[in-house]
Amino acid sequence: MNLVKVAVVGASGYSGQELIRILMRHPGVDLVCVTSRQLAGKTIAEAYPRFQHHRFSSVKFTASDAAGVVASGAKVAILALPHGLAHEYAQPLLEGGLRVIDLSADFRIKDPAVFQEFYGEAHPAPGLLAQSVYGLPEIYRDQIRTSNLVASAGCYPTSILLPLIPLLRAHLIAPASIAVASMSGVSGAGRKVASDYLFCECNESARAYGVPKHRHLSEIEQELSTAAGIPVVISFTPHLIPVNRGIVSTIYANLLPGVSAADITAALEGAYQNEPFVRLQGVTGSADIKNVTHTNYIDITWRHDPRTGRVVLMSAEDNLVKGASGQAVQSLNLMCGWPETEGL
């Protein structure tokens, strides 16, 4: 396997660290550049003792600037920066001939007006929106292979879109009836210091937030609408729960007249029976965070409720792996022509 030089921009955050962990074991990758304003000058091993004696542990963090990333010789850059910054890096990196995978929301929304509605500002680089591919490999595999700019799907959206898209494509559920409650571990908020996420504020407690218009609704509804072929608007209530990592989503939808429980099962099995990272747990299994943390799997299970005429879909994933860094490496594998599971 020819090694591909890769850079991680924003490598001191939770997703960035997870990328380092995965890429250290990836046989096709030469990690030539990791950036952080706070850790510049330190080696990976100095900054993160758990990475001592691993491949790339002597690579030094450099300042986060696009010219430095281009100069590193990297051919692919993975951006793990807070939202709102990616275009400052993506534009010069693309001009420098790199391919870019962005973990932020900056290039996920196709319509600049929707971006403005949910993110409160005009999109700074609408031209890049037009050329980005939504980074959900199970749905956009072929487009990702040839893309130079992949907007990796968000953590909550991944947990909601993968269960629902096959059912909407097959016209089995009423789009207007969809309601979702999700629970996320605290690492979903990133490593920044904010009082809402201090140990004493989160431990032994749980709370809803972002109601009724969490930002992730913009990409969730965009992708559900594409699957359904009509505009889809849903209810979504995220909750913060006192675990480090992991998301569970519970999704409700009314079955359309004449649709049976067996139709739901057939649609999900038809969509995912050959997918390496989607583990269908059938109509009796569970979707449990503990079974997916530190892996790139998403577990999906479902029940038909004849009393209400609804299907209840439940999914579990690690927000930092299938919801972020593992999914980005899945896209990297596609872009480089490697087996999609390489390093994962």
Q: How far is the CB of 12 from ligand NAP (least distance, A)?
A: 4
Q: Tell me which stretch binds ligand NAP (CB under 6 A): 80-88, 167-175, 268-276, 285-293.
A: 80-88
Q: How far is the CB of 241 from ligand NAP (least distance, A)?
A: 13
List, in sequence order, every residue forming a beta bridge with 247; answer none if it has no partner: 184, 317
Q: Distance between CA 241 and CA 201 in Å, rounded?
A: 11
Residue 86 has φ and ψ, to the nearest 5°, of: -60, -40
- How are strands ordered across the β-sheet holding 207-208? 207-208, 235-240, 179-184, 247-254, 310-317, 298-305, 278-280
Q: What is the residue type of 65? A: D
DSSP 154: P
Residue 34 engages ligand NAP in binding (rule: CB under 6 A): no
Residue 319 engages ligand NAP in binding (rule: CB under 6 A): yes
Count of beta carbons in the 10 Å neighbourhood of residue 215: 18
Identified binder of ligand NAP from the candidate list 20, 133, 155, 336, rule CB under 6 A: 155
Angle at 175 between CA 249 and CA 110, to 5 degrees: 80
Residue 343 engages ligand NAP in binding (rule: CB under 6 A): no
Q: Tell me which stretch binds ligand NAP (CB under 6 A): 10-18, 204-212, 226-234, 252-260.
A: 10-18
Q: Distance between CA 60 and CA 68 in Å, rounded?
A: 13
Q: How far is the CB of 245 from ligand NAP (least distance, A)?
A: 7
Residue 135 engages ligand NAP in binding (rule: CB under 6 A): no
User: Would you say 202 or 228 has its CB closer to ligand NAP?
Assistant: 202
By CB under 6 A, the count of residues binding ligand NAP is 30
Q: According to CB under 6 A, which residues from 173 to 202 bind ligand NAP?
A: 187-188, 190-192
Helices (H), 253-325: 261-272
Identified binder of ligand NAP from the candidate list 22, 74, 76, 80, rule CB under 6 A: 80
Q: Which residues neighbour 252 within 8 Å (Cβ) at sequence distance 6 or greater?
A: 177, 178, 179, 180, 310, 311, 312
Residue 10 engages ligand NAP in binding (rule: CB under 6 A): yes
User: Would you say 63 or 122 has its CB closer to ligand NAP?
Assistant: 63
Q: What is the residue type of 228? A: A
Residue 154 engages ligand NAP in binding (rule: CB under 6 A): yes
* Cβ-count burial 218-251 (b if 16+ within 10 Å, e if not): bbbbbbbebbbeeebebebbbbbbebebbbbbbb
Q: Tell me which stretch binds ligand NAP (CB under 6 A): 12-20, 137-145, 161-169, 216-224.
A: 12-20
Q: Tell me which stretch binds ligand NAP (CB under 6 A): 126-134, 275-283, 288-296, 318-326.
A: 318-326
Q: Is 155 a catalytic residue?
A: yes
Which residues are near ligand NAP by CB under 6 A?
Answer: 10-16, 36-39, 64, 80-83, 85, 103-104, 154-155, 187-188, 190-192, 319-320, 323-324
**Residues taking part in catalysis:** 155
